[in-house]
């Protein structure tokens, strides 16, 4: 969510904040805001598909600072779009903005675009660090507000809607949360310097204005759920205080005028009645209902997240109404299922996020379409044995999902038919709510058959890399343009470099560290430093690496839905580093000897050969 123009309006004045030393407290964190904030750090590369290891290191540093200051973080993430799908127009607009940003980056312009697997890397990093988190059924804002008010602690976010919620412990914008400047303060220990928004100061400044009117102010100003078009008739006729007539003086003057106009009313119902006077009679009841429904978005949720953090139980009335199986809801809440899956299940509609790819070619997501079709088949299976099934169902008509994806430089929707599943998964004894009762061997076989790989081929590969290698085999077979040998070698070398860094930074305490691994790692770091100047970028190679990430993302989701028959590869341990894969690809074309980069470590050299032979076979 977000109120149009409100962050700039509040920041411009600055008088609504109090200085805060954050320490020895609980802190409810808006996970989506945090991972975007850390992802968009200065100097980050947005053109080459993401440096997930560096991102995971920033996540680790952030929570390390909180721990040092005695802060107990609780991260709350958005889930799916919700059964009503009220944000669809806003999400389509954002997807179009991201498409424009991706196109600019592909041509060498500046801009920011979160890499495709940022959310997955963030959730994995939280799990590794032991940071308590929950993934909500839908939009998280109301549940964040409810939890923070239950505990009386601050909310940390970058969402302007938190200027509107009535928060007992206040709202700390991430832009004013100076975690990289944490300071020691005598016997009380260290703290994070921050600024906290005061709704009381804000309301005193405009009126005084009743805090109960802030939700109406937000709705009338335009947020993710309601556009201004519905209220243009009001703004074109009303005389806002201080000469702030509609359409003149800019967005901030309109916000100020609206606040001063609302201050004359004691409570929202009176204000709504006065708004409706400016509208045509036949519009009034529809607009009243729209305003009242939208104001409810600023009432803290009754979902008890405290109970989830105490006993792992997430109970949500909206999920129950949508007939979401309990195991699906539990897995979603624990971050073991992606929101993509819940959107496909409830809405039969998904967004495929654009990357920096070749806009003249089909979307990079096209390559992973067969994987998505199997996912849709599992989620939307129609029972074959029900007596009241319609004739179309009895002829095995397959469900259809609406996908929003790129077609050249525009956002298009396409209707995709779910895959027909093997007989084990069509058995009426195993509907979606009983999917985990299908034998694990059958679930693993479906995963591997979808990726076109036999388990016998994967046996030489370390278990935590088997899914990534299976996806790589699929990518080589299905990508367009075809993957070149140098692109494959560059990708495998990056995976090996991630393994080398992992065993160097986080060695197995049961094994003696191998000196040759340390030597090889130091040589690799020297090579990286020397090659920092190499800024080569080839758009078709970038397109192929984007396709690999799309295949990995859908491979991860299918593996999650099947109850992880293969271990989940760890993105936070540098499984993929976009800047490095592009650099190695350029180097391999001119200096093939870089393939021997890890020759000083027999273990890593052997791993590279195992990966290469497995994929080539």
Residues 184 and 220 placed together within one structural domain of the fold: no
Total residues belonging to the chain: 617
Do residues 228 and 340 share a domain? no
My answer on whether 238 and 169 are in the same domain is no
Question: Does 374 lie in the same domain as 247?
Answer: no
Helical ranges in 428-465 per DSSP H: 440-451, 455-458
Instruction: Please check whether residues 147 and 271 belong to one and the same domain.
Output: no
Least confident of 293-297, 340-344, 453-457: 293-297
Q: Which two tokens stand for residue 560?
A: 């999650």
Check: CB of residue 155 under 8 Å from CB of residue 85: no
Asked if the model's pLDDT at residue 463 lies above 90, the reply is yes
Last residue of a domain, one of 288, 303, 318: 303
CB atoms within 10 A of CB 24: 12
Does 4 fall in a domain? no
* CATH (domain of 117): 3.40.50.1010
Q: 376 lies in which domain range?
A: 326-380+398-616
Which tokens go with 312? 């792992």
- Which CA distances in Å does 168 have to 148, 149, 150, 205? 8, 5, 9, 19
Residues 220 and 190 occupy one common structural domain: no
Indicate whether 226 belongs to any domain. Answer: yes
- Strand ranges, E, within 31-105: 72-77
Residue 375 shares a structural domain with residue 283: no
Tell me the mean pLDDT in the region 91-97: 96
The answer to whether 337 and 331 have CB atoms below 8 angstroms apart is: yes
Tell me the torsion sign for CA atoms 41, 45, 46, 51: negative
In a domain, 256, yes or no: yes
For residue 98, the model assigns a pLDDT of 97
pLDDT for 321 equals 93
- Please indicate, yes or no, if residue 3 is contained in any of the structural domains: no
Q: Are 120 and 571 in contact (CB under 8 A)?
A: yes
Beta bridge partners of 20: 194
- Cis status of the peptide bond prior to 340, with omega within 30 of 0: no
Phi, psi dihedrals of residue 295, rounded to the nearest 5°: -65, -30
How far, in Å, CA of 438 to CA of 429, rounded? Answer: 9
Domain boundary among 268, 303, 338: 303
Average pLDDT of span 593-614? 95
Share of the chain above pLDDT 90, in %: 76
Indicate the burial class of 523 (C-beta count within 10 angstroms; 0-12, 13-18, 19 or more). middle
Tell me: do 362 and 227 sit in the same domain.
no
Question: Same domain, yes or no, for 426 and 485?
Answer: yes
Counted domains in the chain: 3
Spatial distance between the Cα atoms of 267 and 219, rounded to a whole number of angstroms:
15
Structure tokens at 350: 């998904």
Domain membership of residue 444 (yes or no) is: yes
Statement to judge: residues 187 and 284 lie in one domain: no
**Mean pLDDT, the chain, whole residue set:** 91
Inform me whether the pLDDT recorded for 224 exceeds 90.
no
Helix 539-561 and helix 485-505, axial crossing angle in degrees, nearest 10: 60
Predicted structure pTM score: 0.94
**Boundary residue ending a domain (175, 197, 219):** 197
- C-alpha pair distances (Å), 431 with each of 47, 378, 383, 509, 562: 42, 9, 7, 44, 13
Question: Is there a domain that residue 12 lies in?
Answer: no
How many CA atoms lie less than 13 Å away from 349 in the CB half-sphere?
14
Residue 101 forms part of a structural domain: yes
Q: Which is more confident, 161 or 572?
A: 161
**Is the pLDDT score of 13 beyond 90?**
no
Q: Does residue 253 sit in helix, strand or coil?
A: helix
* The three-state (H, E, C) secondary structure of 310-359, written as one string: HHCCCCCHHHHHCCCCHHHHHHHHCCCCCHHHHHHHHHCEEECCCCCCCC
Give the DSSP per-residue string, 19-31. Answer: EEEE-SSEEEEEH
Strand-pair category, 349-351 with 72-77: unpaired
CA 492 to CA 496: how far, in whole Å?
6
**What values do phi and psi take at 106, rounded to 5?**
-65, -25
Same domain assignment for residues 274 and 161: no
Q: Answer whether residue 390 is part of any domain.
A: no
Residues 283 and 372 grouped into a single domain:
no
pLDDT at 390 over 60: no
pLDDT band per the 50, 70, 90 thresholds, residue 14:
confident
Are the beta carbons of 322 and 346 closer than 8 angstroms? yes
Q: How far apart are CA 165 and CA 300, in angstroms?
A: 8
* Residue 394: per-residue pLDDT: 40
Residue with the two structure tokens 């986080």: 506
Residues 115 and 44 sit within 8 Å (Cβ to Cβ): no
């Amino acid at each position: 969510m977000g109120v149009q123009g409100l962050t700039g309006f509040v920041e411009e004045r600055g008088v609504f904040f109090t200085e805060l030393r954050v320490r020895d407290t609980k802190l409810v964190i808006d996970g989506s805001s945090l991972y975007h904030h850390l992802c968009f750090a200065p100097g980050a590369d947005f053109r080459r598909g993401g440096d997930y290891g560096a991102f995971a290191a920033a996540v680790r540093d952030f929570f390390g600072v909180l721990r040092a200051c005695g802060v107990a973080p609780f991260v709350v993430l958005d889930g799916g779009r919700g059964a009503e799908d009220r944000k669809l127009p806003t999400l389509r607009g954002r997807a179009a903005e991201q498409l424009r940003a991706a196109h600019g980056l592909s041509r060498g312009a500046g801009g920011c675009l979160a890499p495709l697997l940022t959310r997955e890397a963030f959730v994995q990093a939280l799990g590794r660090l032991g940071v308590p988190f929950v993934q909500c059924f839908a939009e998280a804002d109301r549940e964040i507000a409810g939890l923070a008010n239950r505990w009386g602690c601050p909310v940390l976010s970058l969402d302007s809607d938190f200027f509107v919620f009535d928060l007992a412990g206040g709202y700390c914008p991430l832009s004013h949360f100076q975690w990289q400047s944490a300071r020691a303060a005598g016997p009380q220990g260290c703290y994070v310097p921050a600024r906290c928004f005061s709704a009381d100061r804000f309301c005193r400044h405009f009126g005084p204005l009743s805090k109960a009117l802030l939700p109406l102010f937000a709705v009338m100003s335009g947020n993710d759920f309601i556009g201004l078009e519905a209220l243009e008739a009001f703004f074109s006729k009303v005389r806002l205080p201080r000469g702030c007539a509609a359409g003149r003086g800019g967005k901030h003057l309109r916000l100020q005028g609206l606040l001063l106009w609302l201050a004359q009313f004691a409570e929202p119902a009176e204000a709504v009645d006065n708004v409706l006077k400016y509208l045509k009679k036949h519009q009034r009841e529809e607009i009243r209902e729209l305003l009242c429904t939208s104001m409810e978005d600023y009432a803290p949720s009754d979902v008890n997240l405290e109970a989830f953090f105490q006993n792992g139980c997430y109970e949500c009335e909206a999920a129950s109404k949508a007939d979401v199986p309990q195991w699906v809801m539990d897995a979603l809440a624990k971050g073991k299922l992606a929101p993509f899956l819940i959107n496909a299940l409830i809405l039969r509609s998904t967004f495929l996020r654009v990357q920096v790819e070749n806009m003249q070619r089909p979307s990079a997501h096209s390559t992973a379409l067969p994987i998505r079709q199997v996912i849709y088949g599992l989620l939307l299976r129609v029972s074959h044995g029900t007596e009241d099934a319609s004739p179309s169902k009895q002829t095995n008509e397959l469900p259809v999902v609406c996908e929003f994806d790129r077609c050249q430089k525009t956002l298009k929707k396409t209707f995709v038919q779910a895959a027909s599943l093997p007989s084990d998964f069509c058995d009426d004894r195993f509907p979606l709510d009983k999917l985990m009762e299908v034998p694990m061997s059958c679930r693993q076989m479906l995963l591997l058959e979808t990726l076109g790989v036999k388990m016998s081929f994967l046996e030489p590969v370390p278990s935590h890399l088997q899914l990534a290698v299976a996806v790589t085999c699929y990518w080589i077979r299905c990508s367009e343009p075809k993957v070149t040998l140098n692109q494959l070698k560059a990708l495998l070398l990056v995976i090996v470099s991630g393994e080398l860094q992992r065993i160097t930074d986080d060695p197995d305490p049961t094994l003696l560290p191998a000196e040759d691994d340390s030597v090889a790692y130091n040589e690799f770091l020297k090579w990286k430093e020397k090659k920092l100047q190499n800024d080569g970028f080839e758009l078709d190679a970038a397109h192929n690496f984007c396709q690999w990430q799309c295949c990995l993302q859908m491979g991860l989701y299918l593996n999650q839905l099947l109850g992880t028959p293969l271990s989940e590869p760890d993105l936070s341990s540098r499984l993929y580093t976009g800047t490095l894969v592009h650099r190695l690809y350029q180097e391999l074309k001119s200096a093939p000897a870089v393939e021997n980069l890890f020759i000083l470590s027999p273990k890593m050299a052997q791993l590279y050969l195992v990966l290469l032979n497995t994929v080539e076979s």
